[in-house]
Amino acid sequence: MSRASLVADLRVRIDQLSDQINVQNQRLRDLEQQRSDTRSRLNAILDPMAHLPLEIQSQIFLYVGWRSHKPMVDPNDAPMILLNVCHLWRVIALSTPRLWAAICMDSYPRKANTVGYNQLCKSWLQRARNLPLSLGLDGCLKFRANVQALVTEYQDRLQSLTLNVDSILGIQIRMPGPLPALRSLTIRSDNTLYLDSDDEANLLDVLQASPGVCRFSMFNLFRKYDVEYLDRPPLTLPHLEDLRFGDPSPAMDANSASLLQYLCLPALKNLSLSALSIPDEELVSFLARSSPPLESLSVVALDVLWPTPLVDQCLRLIPTLTSLTLSAVFAGGINDLFHSFFAILGSPNLLPQLRRITIWAGRRTNIDYEELLPILRTRRTTPLESFELIFVPDFAIAASPCVFYAHPDTEVKAALRQLVTDGIRVHVGPAGDNLL
């Protein structure tokens, strides 16, 4: 056999073997597919999830929590992790738009400018279809182009917005345009930030772009002491019902109420103020021009005395108030404060609808129960539903947890128990420990 004939025969043989290998590979693929189908059928029999209607399976997925308590773009966190469990779970997750209606994006430059991250965020939001959206932004709020493009694209559907501001990277907050669907706005920082006049103007611009906002919260942002007030007319937000500057609690999350000087809130029902850094005259002016149907008021008293003479005037402007909370754990002149506060509560012409009174005080506080009891008896005709006097330790004083100056004596306890018999819920003592 010639060399040319041998080469031709070997090439033919190679082609034949290749064809046989392709046939066997196809048979292997068919067998693997049959195995997968059989396994899916077995799982469908054994897996209780497979017997549930799609609507119920979707509802179960909606109860899956996030490790970080917010929907981060993280492949190891819900809901993204649901995509990688099995084919069925992926189908369910992608068929549940509400899973993708909330997202917290990272606007740090090192992430926000990457193509993969931006595409992932866009795919996430597309899965929400036409649902209203809740958006959180972490980090630098000098919006990067890619982040701003996403916000702009979905701004008409944005219902809830949370800005988690990083003090290192700046706090310039400029939204791309009107937010007609926005109902809830939260601006917060893990560190103390100080607002200048430009920051305040930007905040007011965000609120002005959100005429339908119903809830506004701002945590851990102060107004700089030397900042001049803005020369602009009050901004009316006709739907804002819940306003919170800080968290009025014994922890006293420091905050600023200076924005009240620029607002008119005729629908306001709930107001929480921490670190009341606004002149009393301005607070009176705010309440006078707003005439709000206020139902709940929470205030933290710091080194200034609260109430002051103008507080009486403030309270007369909110006769609809049903719930009042005062936190005076670290206030200076605290005994004088309570004397003034009790005097106001004892006035029959103030707060005629008051139902619930809560006072947070330090354990080293002296409470004059002889002054307090007549007020509570008078308030029975309101009728008063609950009175809570909660004592917390001053952790700046090592011996504080062992010191308790305000312990009621036997006669006081008997009088307070009589109020309970009359139908008033009374708590006096540390949180979780009613001394009655």
Q: Output the pLDDT for position 327.
A: 80
Q: What is the pTM of this model?
A: 0.79
Q: Output the pLDDT for position 240.
A: 96
Q: Output the pLDDT for position 266.
A: 96
Alpha-carbon gap, residue 83 to 85, rounded angstroms: 6
Q: Output the pLDDT for position 269.
A: 96
Q: Output the pLDDT for position 215.
A: 96
Residue with tokens 């993708």: 100
Is the bond into 292 cis (omega within 30 degrees of 0)? no
Alpha-carbon gap, residue 257 to 255, rounded angstroms: 7
Q: Output the pLDDT for position 397.
A: 46
Give how far Cα 9 sits from Cα of 21, 22, 41, Å. 18, 20, 48
Alpha-carbon gap, residue 355 to 358, rounded angstroms: 10
Q: Output the pLDDT for position 50.
A: 64
The per-residue pLDDT string of the chain (436 residues; one tens digit each, 9 = 90 and over) reads 677 788 788 888 888 888 899 989 999 999 998 988 888 777 767 766 666 777 787 778 877 766 555 666 777 777 888 888 877 788 888 888 888 888 887 766 555 456 677 788 888 888 999 999 988 877 655 555 666 777 788 888 999 988 877 654 445 556 667 888 999 998 887 777 777 777 788 788 888 888 999 999 988 777 776 777 788 899 999 999 999 987 655 555 556 677 888 999 999 999 988 766 667 778 889 999 999 999 999 887 654 445 566 677 888 889 999 998 888 765 555 566 677 777 777 776 788 888 998 988 876 677 778 888 888 888 766 678 898 988 877 654 444 445 556 778 888 888 888 888 888 898 988 888 888 8
Alpha-carbon gap, residue 411 to 408, rounded angstroms: 8
Strands of the sheet with 158-165, listed across from one edge: 102-106, 133-139, 158-165, 184-195, 215-223, 242-245, 270-273, 296-300, 323-328, 356-362, 386-392, 425-430
- DSSP, collapsed to helix, strand or coil, labels residue 413 as helix
Give how far Cα 76 sits from Cα of 19, 306, 330, Å. 43, 49, 43
